[in-house]
Amino acid sequence: MNLQNILKRLPIKITSYKPISGGDTNKSYVLQSEEGNFFMKTNSTKEFPGMLREEAKGLKSIEETHTLRTPKIIKIDDSGNEQYLILELISKGEANEEIWENFGKSLASMHKIPQPFFGFSSDNYVGRLPQKNTKASTWGEFYTQYHLQPLIKKLTDMNALTNQEVRAAENFYQQIDDIFPKETPSLVHGDLWSGNFLISDTGNPVVLDPAVYYGHREMDLGMTRLFGGFSVDFYEGYNSKYPLEKGWEERIPFTQLYPLLVHSILFGNYYLDEVKSILSDF
Angle at 221 between CA 215 and CA 222, to 5 degrees: 90
Phi, psi of 176 (to 5 degrees): -55, -45
Q: 198 and 273 in contact (C-beta within 8 Å)? A: no
Element (H, E) at 129: strand 129-131
Alpha-carbon span 70 to 264, nearest angstrom: 29
Alpha-carbon span 271 to 261, nearest angstrom: 7
With CA atoms as reference, report the closest residue to 40 among 13, 16, 19: 19
In the set 77, 191, 209, 220, the catalytic residue is: 191
Alpha-carbon span 114 to 184, nearest angstrom: 6
Residue 191 is among the residues annotated as catalytic for this protein: yes
Q: 151 and 262 in contact (C-beta within 8 Å)? A: yes
Phi, psi of 227 (to 5 degrees): -115, 0
Alpha-carbon span 278 to 254, nearest angstrom: 7
Residue numbers annotated as active site: 191
